[in-house]
Structure 1
Amino acid sequence: MADEEEVIMTPTKKGKATHIRIERKRKLNMSGTEEQRHHVAGGEHKGLVINKSSQGDDEEDLGKPQVQLGFNCFMVDTKTGNHVVESRKLKFWYVDSADYLDQVTTGFNFFRELLKPENFPKDYVGFIRKCMKQMQKPEYSMARKINLEIQLLDDEATPMDPASPELENGYGITKQDLRPWEEIVREKLLHVLESAYPNILSVEDLIRIVDAEESVVMEQLEELRRKDLIRQLDSGGFVRHVLDVKTEVQEVKQMMTVSANQQPTIAIITANYCEKLAVDAMMENKTTYVKFKTGGESNAYTIGYIGEHKCVSTKLPMIGHDRSAQISSGNTTTRLLGTFQAVEHVFIVGVAGAVPHFTDYYKHPRLGDVMISDCSKGGNIYYYCDQILQEKDGNILYQTKAFQPKDAFLQGVLEGIKEQRLHRKFEPWRKYIRNGLELLATQEADYNRPPPETDRLTMMIGEGNVLEMQHPHHPEGIDEREGFPKIHYGVFGAGKRFSKADDLRLDFAGRYNVNSFDSEFDQVLAGVVGSVKESFMFIRGMADYSDGMQKQEWQPYAALAAAAVMKSMILSFKGPYISEDEM
């Protein structure tokens, strides 16, 4: 900061909130205001001035802030031992020459530096002092003024600590599960069988996975069977029973040979059970062919129509994120594309995790929004991180595999949709979501959009500390959300170590311009590319702010939103002539 400038802090009390105004002013403009000063710092803090408390309106002079960041601090009162929550808001005003990108970038960088784990201010005074010191730095010279608003929340307004052990994975708001143990086991069994579908799991496998007594497992399996949610096959193993009255299901020992003019030309790959049901709800005149294989990988293919396009959908029978599960996914993909060799386009549809933009309203995806893969400048749509290395100087290096579709057809379709949306509303997916909700109303999973208050945004700041962030405000203060998804475009990424490492995930996202993370589809893409399918696209609904697997409450709706957008895209381009005779 120039020597002729000072950073001045003025506290103000307004109702229950304390406002700390921090602004940069020239010394020449300070004549006649000595009586307002409480302290003028020297030494390493030279240029910092603390004014006496003011009763004026500290926002009148510059109008509404251009950028605002809000977050909750969960703290313990050292005197009483009570847990308290402070709501803090950082509001920024900028010089006239700062454009929107300058504003949101500077605001976020200021905030990230303020919250660096290695020197995160643990007390109230240290937090304010650090704000003032950062205002002296030249990289924040575009910021004219910052207002820090601090308010202690009442008990009834206090949200649950996002890092509480009562919360699932530290990300959701699910309270401690107080249900009977038998009910918890029943839910786990159903979840495991849905994850494994169409694979068959033995009783021994289920006992090991859910970690419960055999008698409890057998009792709950029988309860699920009575509800017609699972089936026991002749082998003794169990499989999820698909309940879809509008889909004919045929069990086959060998997949049939399909003539060239009857072959599906679009393949849709899903990973979760709720994703498969959502995709199948978008199809007409459909039949599901299931090939069960005891002790091995089963296959389930649903063949039907989306408009004039004949499609085939499948679900990857994977459990967890280990490498064996990913290899299994690659094998399933290869078998799918080997069985249906006329496939021209591959869609990977389901849920993923959003990369938050804490200051940029336009780039920030919310839960339930949909991300469509859009090529980077290098043509890539997916980056997978194989390994993370740290150099001697502390710099982090990422070893990656990148995937790009050589056939730009779907990218051209996407550009056409973007162009249409610029000139008029192009949102047919709203209708398809409503139709899907009707078709899926009898399913065990709830596909309705969860309440907006469950869309909680957190940020890890190191040493186990978590902040709950407010979503960025619309620059004009207008809330445009109407209960339907917004569409975003960008690059996808994945990596084993990103699941719970917010700092690494955000750093990787920044370096590779990644907009969404999923649960590792590199083996699937390797199978697609290895099968010489050069036209592929990701369409994913945002289910959390990690990798899509952390917040199950949003998964069904996010999957339905992604499937509806997929249908909109498929209907927007012409398909080859295919006879509609039944197979």
Structure 2
Amino acid sequence: MAEEKEEIVMTPSKKGKTTHIRIEKRKKLDMGLDDSVEHVGGGKNAGLVVNKQAEGDDVDLARPQLQIGFNCFLVDQKTENRMVESRRLKFWYVDGTEYLDQVTTAYEFFKELVKPENFPRDYVGFIKKCMKQMQRPEYTLAKKVDLEIKLLDEEDAPLSPGRNAEDIFGLNKEDTRPVEEIVREKMLHILESAYPNVLEVEDLIRMVGADEMVVMQQLSDLKQRDLVREVETGKVVRHMLEDKTEVQMVKQMPTIAANQQPTIAIITANYGEKLAVDAMMENKTTYVKFKSEGESNVYTMGYIGEHRVVSTKLPAIGHARAAQISSGNTTTRLLGTFQNIEHVFVVGIAGGVPHYTDYYKHVRLGDIVISTCDSKGYIYYYCEKVLRNKQGDVQFKMKTYSPREMDLQRVVEKLQDRIKRRPEKIPWEGYITQGLEILKNQEADFNRPPPESDRLYMGIGDDNVIEVQHPEAPDSEMDVNQGSPTIRFSPIGSGRFNRSEQTRMDFVNRHGIMCFDTEFDQVLESIVGNRKDSFMFIRGIADYGDGTRNKEWGPYAALAAAAMMKAIIRMISNPYLSEDED
């Protein structure tokens, strides 16, 4: 008997503001032609069948096995009015399709559908492209797709995340705040990035790039609020406000008794990270090793559990030559000043690697990623350069890092087991609450931002991006972590990828990376060069590492990472210590 061919059948329906376009595969012999058929395609459209509109209540719209959606604008060419739409693709698969195959099929189907070079600008073209894709052999496992189109209110409009985007993919962000507020924020950011280093006022004015009078007015206001301190005429520094910390300005570090020497060092890269880490300590003192010219250093010493710890902040990071030298030198001075260090933690914020269809692999804002050894023993991958061989295949010139001592990795294994056995008792939630109380008077807001501010974008080629919706939990899962950090375990990645989203994601997939970091290779070189064999990165997710900037999540992400650091440090000598905590 000849193999029965399939037709791709489209059935539209509408209910309120929501339109459903059901696209499914049916065997040609089973379908027949009846009054429900509106059109049967021929020629290039052979195998495509369009049904008449069905009543909304008559269409089977049971829960899909997987879905992915995005928001966009439609522009009326006559009136130029803009309508905001949510378009969601819902997938059903042939029986027995594995979850990984479901995820891959949906992701590839979606990526193909929204390619900029042939993105349909009208309903008919968009629906036709969906139907034509269903005919392709790579989507054999998908038996039905429902395209849900819903009108949204204008305040739900997708915003461009700051890169090139056509109107259909969103609007450019516009900062409507008063210029004084923008200048003040930028000034604080510059001073906090430089902290504990001193900046000359002339340099500050140049770096802010605003009217000198406005800058001086805002600087005066910041001094009155004790957020900025003038250490010498014409030289200023960010003033760290912390009621429970004694701050001493010193030319040389005081001699520390042997039994008071810290055994754990914590490295942070920005001001908010340092505040969050210090909020986890007790009985602490901050020493600012001050220089009016050149690099200053800041060390905060205190206790976390039974462990004596010291934290510092890098004055600059990245791969400009000055930043390379600075970050490496600061780490070397830290480890040279405190020679009893046994473990080094690098704690702070980073960019998560989202997965647009796989709920289990999707890293979200506020989550925590702990550097964990992969099968090769590496916890950190740094891409120095992207190369191509004669065949055109992408190759990565890399540096890799792994600790020689596995004490912290063994603690993490205990932590993973702890989460599985007793997820309802997680001490870091309590540490976040305690940290919020300590940090409540800071300029930055360390509270968890509202969930609607967690907006996800996808690069679709040629510097175009669209806003997409987060993958939903499968039927068998409840989103128990909503409002709390999900803990992830993977190697950390960093480097430069020539602004290529595809190249970056290739790097991610090759090495199982869930988190993209600032370039810390010079810090790692210093740690390894100083023979510190036990080190770990703990990163709170503040953005998606896609070129966007999400300042709103930075403070909370830093606090979440610091809270996890405290939980791990308290488990170092007693892996089960945290089980006794409320």
TM-score by length of structure 1 reads 0.91
**Where do 1:472-487 residues align within 5 Å?**
472-476=471-475, 478-487=478-487
Instruction: Note closer, same or farther for the CA distance 1:281–1:164 as it changes in structure 2 (3 Å cut).
Output: closer
* Displacement of 1:120: 2.9
Counterpart in the other structure of 1:525: 524
- 2:14: which partner in 1? 13
- Provide Cα deviations, 1:300-341, integer angstroms capped at 9, x if missing partner: 011111001111100010166634223311221111112212
| C-alpha contact 2:115 2:460 (8 A) present in aligned 1 | yes
Distance in 2, matches of 1:509 and 1:120, equals 27
Moved more, 330-339 or 562-571: 330-339
* Other-structure match for 1:453: 452
Give runs of aligned pairs for residues 164-563 of structure 1, distance below 5 A. 176-234=174-232, 236-318=234-316, 322-390=320-388, 395-425=393-423, 426-476=425-475, 478-497=478-497, 501-546=500-545, 550-563=549-562
Deviation of 1:212 (Å)? 2.6
Hey, what does 1:53 align to over in structure 2?
53
Counterpart Cα distance in 2 of 1:378 and 1:319: 28
Give 5+ residue unaligned stretches, structure 1. Answer: 576-583
Q: Distance in 2 between matches of 1:405 and 1:165?
A: 37
**Which deviates more, 177-186 or 445-454?**
177-186
Are the structure 2 counterparts of residues 461 and 225 from structure 1 closer, same or farther at C-alpha, using a change threshold of 3 Å? same
- Cα RMSD for the two superposed structures: 2.7
Q: Is the 8 A contact 2:273 2:347 kept in 1?
A: yes
Which range is displaced more, 305-314 or 359-368? 359-368
* Aligned partner letter, 2:494: A
Which stretch of the first structure deviates more once superposed, 512-521 or 389-398?
389-398
Whole-Å separation in 2 of the counterparts to 1:179 and 1:55: 48
Distance 1:149 1:548 in 2: 29
Shift of 1:560: 0.6
Partner in structure 2 of residue 580 of structure 1: none
Change in Cα spacing, 1:24 to 1:96, as seen in structure 2 (3 Å) is same
TM-superposition CA deviations, 1:427-466 (whole Å, max 9, x none): 1011111110111111111111112211111123234543
1:73 counterpart letter in structure 2: C
Cα distance, 1:419 vs. partner?
0.9
Distance 1:38 1:154 in 2: 33
Amino acid at match of 1:331: N
Q: Structure 1 stretch 199-208 or stretch 476-485: which is displaced more?
A: 476-485
Q: 1:164 to 1:414 in 2, by over 3 A?
A: closer
Q: Deviations over 1:239-288 (max 9, x none)?
A: 11111121111222122444554321111111110100000000011111
Structure 2, unaligned runs of 5 or more: 575-582
Q: Write the letter of the residue equivalent to 1:131.
A: C
Q: Which residue of 1 aligns with 2:5?
A: 4
* Letter paired with 1:194: E
Aligned-pair distance for 1:101?
2.1
Superposition deviation, residue 164 in structure 1:
7.3
Q: In structure 1, what is the Cα distance between the partners aligned to 2:533 and 2:446?
A: 32
How far does the alpha carbon of each residue in 1:388-418 deviate from its partner, in whole angstroms, 9 at most, with x for none? 2356765443322222222222111111111
Q: Classify the secondary structure of the residue corresponding to 1:442.
A: coil
User: Residue 173 of structure 1 contacts residue 454 of structure 1 at CA under 8 Å; is this kept in 2?
Assistant: no
Task: Kindly provide the amino acid, as one letter, of the partner of residue 107 in structure 1.
Answer: A
Q: In structure 2, do the counterparts of structure 1 residues 502 and 59 end up closer, same or farther at CA, with 3 Å as the change threshold?
A: farther
Q: CA deviation at 1:495?
A: 2.2
SS of aligned partner of 2:54: coil
> Which has the higher mean CA deviation after the structures are superposed, 187-196 or 43-52?
43-52
Which residue is 2:23 aligned to?
22
Amino acid at match of 1:147: D
Letter in 2 for 1:10: T
Shift of residue 52, structure 1, vs aligned partner: 2.6
Q: CA deviation at 1:549?
A: 7.8
Distance 1:307 1:547 in 2: 37
Structure 1 vs Structure 2: percent identity of aligned residues?
60
C-alpha distance in 1, partners of 2:377/2:571?
A: 23
CA drift of 1:550 comes to: 1.5
Aligned counterparts of 1:50 and 1:291: Cα–Cα separation in 2? 75
Q: 1:413 to 1:296 in 2, by over 3 A?
A: same
Question: What whole-Å deviation, never above 9, does each CA across 1:111-156 have from its counterpart, x for those lacking one?
Answer: 122223343333322222222222222332221111011123244x
- 3-state DSSP of counterpart to 2:55: coil
Question: Distance in 2 between the 1:422 and 1:58 partners?
Answer: 43
Write the distance in 2 (CA, Å) between the matches of 1:195 and 1:163: 23
Larger deviation, residues 562-571 vs 101-110: 101-110
Q: Is the 8 A contact 1:36 1:51 kept in 2?
A: yes
Letter in 2 for 1:47: G
Task: Check conservation: 1:353, 1:548, Cα contact below 8 A.
Answer: no
1-side partners of 2:546 and 2:529: how far apart? 25
* Closer, same or farther: CA 543–333 of 1 in aligned 2, 3 Å: same
1:531 Cα offset (Å): 1.4
**Letter of the structure 2 residue corresponding to residue 277 of structure 1:** L
Q: TM-score, normalised by structure 2?
A: 0.91
Deviations 1:55-96 (A, max 9, x none): 2657638x3101011210123222322222221010011122
Length, aligned pairs only: 567
Query: Once the 2 structures are TM-superposed, how far is the Cα of residue 224 of structure 1 from its aligned partner?
Result: 1.0
Structure 1 residues 25-69: Cα deviation after superposition (integer angstroms, max 9, x where no partner):
222322x334433333334443322223222657638x3101011
- Aligned residue in 2 for 1:68: 67
**1:450-504 deviations in Å (ceiling 9; x for gaps):** 1221111112323454321111111127443452222112222122347x65444
C-alpha displacement of 1:508 = 2.6
Q: What letter matches 1:337 in structure 2?
A: L
1:551–1:323 CA distance, 2 compared to 1 (3 A): farther
